[in-house]
Amino acid sequence: MTSQRIWTAALAVIGDEILSGRTQDKNIAQIALWLNLQGIRLREVRVVPDVEDAIVEAVNQLRARNDYLFTTGGIGPTHDDITVDAVAKALGVEVVVHPKARAVLENYYETRGGITEARLRMARVPDGATLIENRMSGAPGIRHGNVFIMAGVPHITAMMLDALSGTLEGGAPLLSATLGCWVGESEVAELLRATEKAHEGCQIGSYPFFREGRVGANFVVRSTEQAVLGACVAALAGGLEATGRETVAGGI
Amino acid sequence: MTSQRIWTAALAVIGDEILSGRTQDKNIAQIALWLNLQGIRLREVRVVPDVEDAIVEAVNQLRARNDYLFTTGGIGPTHDDITVDAVAKALGVEVVVHPKARAVLENYYETRGGITEARLRMARVPDGATLIENRMSGAPGIRHGNVFIMAGVPHITAMMLDALSGTLEGGAPLLSATLGCWVGESEVAELLRATEKAHEGCQIGSYPFFREGRVGANFVVRSTEQAVLGACVAALAGGLEATGRETVAGGI
């Protein structure tokens, strides 16, 4: 039961705009939630600058030790978009113009001023790649082996994830349930530890907050087994109720 | 001018809640913006799970190749808070109870039910550490050499950053200016490339968007030299205006 294979993914977020604080990343959470539904766990994330060596290092370390690697950012038409070149270098292959990507872009820009050298940059892929459809803006995502090159703009990445849904091999989806309680987490630390220990294959996360002048916490129980999850949640709920504090199924 | 020393920092975000997509990280952007003001560049970020080996690996790789390493998350009182133990292991030192942290916590909890074993966990530090003040919740942040252990809850981290402001050695702050333009970035890709190349020490980032049915982009120019930045922005503004599209100083 606990020896089932766990499929893992890593994410490399590529972009100076995240590291400068200019842009609040939204792709980590978006991709994490999508991966959960595919039965794949996001195991690690790196945010790297628009610097070739940094991208190459992250791509090669992460793709080697995870089932899948996703990248976001750096696939547009401008000089700071170097993801395709860096991934190709990491993979040890040439960069080529993908004929289908070229056709898609020519069609997309037919009524938008025509294809240009800059726009054609978005048809370049690591040799051997296939395309990931993007109904939004013409420029496709790119798959090469276990590496998936996605857009930086979150709603374009969302379209690409949509196109990939159900196509990747995964394991049992990680299930979760949340219990909220108006209690300081330090008051129930031993209960949490003991409850987790008594339910093999469950993890309990504790996320404290301070709202309306009161301390509380949400406790998230995770497992791939519905029955184990249910038993752990029931045990935790019983323990929390025994403290006399208000407990809220689903979280506060 | 371009040979000035650049001070760098890395950030290790520690927490299953970020990797599961449950929590949207806010510390990357917050710490990035704060570091800019200290004249330090956030060079890389890793998000790692609540797993000791993963934390140890990230801490040791990142602290070795950056001037500073910040961590967020995993310093609370519960069983899933293992950051202090993992950082101590990475540093090769013991975990000890810091007498001042213990006194702070005893004082904080005096009117809140008293100190307990779980709460005392928050007084544990890697041997040799100093404390970073936290006016919010009693539990302090921790400094050991070039490693800074901060809270996961963003407003508590904000308090700790406040306490550190002006205390770290840095270089010239990275200055930036933004120009917005209602133009597709692919139409001005060559202008961006040539303008960046003509202004040594400047980087131009291009951030496209689609709003109100129109395409546009914000162009962010970055440099540590005010004069170089100004010249680059002026050249870029001239080039954008020559396209006949509306340009907006400060960004759209």
pLDDT at B137 over 80: no
Residue of chain A whose Cα is closest to the Cα of B120: A186
Tell me the chain A residues in contact with residue B13 when contact means C-beta distances shorter than 8 Å: 45
Per the CB < 8 A criterion, the answer to whether A131 and A100 are in contact is yes
- If pLDDT is split at 50, 70 and 90, which confidence band does A20 have? very high
- Going by pLDDT thresholds of 50, 70 and 90, the confidence category of residue A222 is very high
Which pLDDT band, with edges at 50, 70 and 90, does A24 fall under?
very high
Residue B2, in any domain of the structure: no
Calculate the average pLDDT of chain B: 94
B160/B183 same-domain check = no
- The whole-angstrom distance between residue A45's C-alpha and the CA centroid of its chain comes to 8
Would B212 be classed as within a structural domain?
yes
- State the nearest Cα–Cα gap between B127 and chain A, in angstroms: 23
Q: What is the pLDDT of residue A193?
A: 96
What pLDDT was estimated at residue B1? 43
User: Domain of A22: which CATH number?
Assistant: 3.40.980.10
Chain A hits for B250, CB-CB cut-off 8 Å, are none
Tell whether the model's pLDDT for residue A86 goes beyond 80: yes
Q: Are residues A183 and A102 in the same domain?
A: no
- Do residue B118 and residue B189 come from a single domain? no
Q: What does the alpha-carbon distance between residue A9 and residue A169 come to, in Å, rounded to a whole number? A: 11
Where among B142, B164, B186 does a domain terminate? B164
Least confident of A23-37, B24-38, B49-63, B201-215: B201-215
Q: Is residue B158 part of a domain?
A: yes
pLDDT at B138: 77
Q: Are residues B219 and B147 located together in one domain of the fold?
A: no
Is there a domain that residue A170 lies in?
A: no
Asked if B23 lies within 8 A of A207 by C-beta distance, the reply is yes
Give the residue on A whose Cα is nearest the Cα of B78: A189
Mean pLDDT to the nearest integer, B73-84: 95
How far CA B94 is from CA of A31, B91, B198, in Å, comes to 37, 9, 53
Kindly report the average pLDDT of chain A as a whole number: 94
pLDDT-based confidence at A18, cuts 50/70/90? very high
Q: Which of B77, B153, B186 sits opposite A77 (nearest CB)?
A: B186
- Determine, for residues B17 and A209 on separate chains, whether the beta-carbon distance falls below 8 Å: no
- For residues B235 and B190, membership in a common domain is answered with yes
CA–CA distance from B22 to each of B18, B57, B78 (Å)? 6, 24, 18
Kindly state the tokens that stand for B178.
Answer: 């933004």
Integer angstrom CA distances of residue B169 from A29, B38, B173? 33, 8, 11
Query: Does residue B151 belong to any structural domain of this protein?
Result: yes
Q: Final residue of a domain: which of A164, A198, A222?
A: A164
| pLDDT at A3 (0 to 100) | 56
CA distances from B175 to A2, A104, B240 (A): 52, 39, 21
Ordered DSSP codes for A76-136? SSSTT--HHHHHHHHHT--EEE-HHHHHHHHHHHTTTT---HHHHGGGEEETT-EEE--TT
Q: Which residues of chain A have a CB within 8 Å of the CB of B23?
A: 29, 207
**Listed residue (B64, B70, B68, B60) closest to B28, CA to CA:** B70
B181 shares a domain with B159 = no
Domain assignment present for residue B170? The answer is: no
Residue where a domain terminates, one of A121, A142, A164: A164
State pLDDT tens for residues B33-54.
999 999 999 999 999 999 999 9
- Name the pTM for this structure: 0.92
pLDDT at A236: 97
pLDDT of residue A211: 86
Residue type, A79: H
User: For residue A173, is pLDDT > 90?
Assistant: no
Assign A2 a pLDDT band (cuts: 50, 70, 90). Answer: very low
> What's the domain count of chain B?
2
Q: What is the pLDDT of residues A104-145, one digit of tens each?
A: 999 989 988 889 988 999 999 999 999 999 887 778 999 999
Which residue range forms the structural domain that includes residue B210? 175-249
Tell whether B31 and B68 lie within a shared domain: yes
Neighbour-count burial of B25, counting CB atoms closer than 10 A to its CB (0-12 exposed, 13-18 middle, 19+ buried): buried
Residue A4 scores a pLDDT above 90: no
- The answer, yes or no, to whether residue B3 has pLDDT greater than 70, is no
Specify whether A137 is located in the same domain as A232.
no
**Smallest CA–CA separation between A46 and chain B, in Å?**
4
- Tens digits of per-residue pLDDT, B196-224? 999 999 999 999 988 888 999 999 999 98
What angle (nearest 5°) sits at the alpha carbon of residue B135, between those of residues B134 and B136? 90
**pLDDT tens, position by position, A191-203:** 999 999 999 999 9
* Separation in Å, CA of A95 to nearest CA in chain B: 19
DSSP B29-55: HHHHHHHHHTTEEEEEEEEE-S-HHHH
Is A142 found in the same domain as A115? Answer: yes
> CA gyration radius for chain A?
22
Confidence of residue B2 (pLDDT cuts 50, 70, 90): very low
Q: Is B81 left (phi over 0), alpha (psi -120 to 50) or beta?
A: beta
Classify A15 as helix, strand or coil: coil
Q: Is position B1 within any domain?
A: no
Q: Which band of pLDDT confidence, cut at 50, 70 and 90, is reported for residue A174?
A: confident
Residues of chain B contacting residue A20, judged by C-beta atoms under 8 Å apart: 32, 36, 42, 174, 176, 220, 222
Kindly identify which residue of chain A lies nearest to residue B113, measuring between CA atoms: A187
Nearest chain B residue (CA) to A195: B79
More confident residue, B134 or B131: B131
**Nearest CA to B233 among B204, B194, B213?**
B204
- Average pLDDT, integer, range B88-110: 95
Looking at the fold, whether A115 and A205 belong to one and the same domain comes out as no
- A138 versus B32: which is more confidently predicted? B32
Mean pLDDT over B99-118 rounds to 91
CATH code, domain with A232: 3.30.70.600
Q: Which of B189, B187, B181, B173 is nearest to B225 (CA)?
A: B173
Do B68 and B149 share a structural domain? yes
Tokens of A3: 């020896």
Is pLDDT above 60 for B7? yes
Task: Tell me, yes or no, whether A1 lies in a domain.
Answer: no
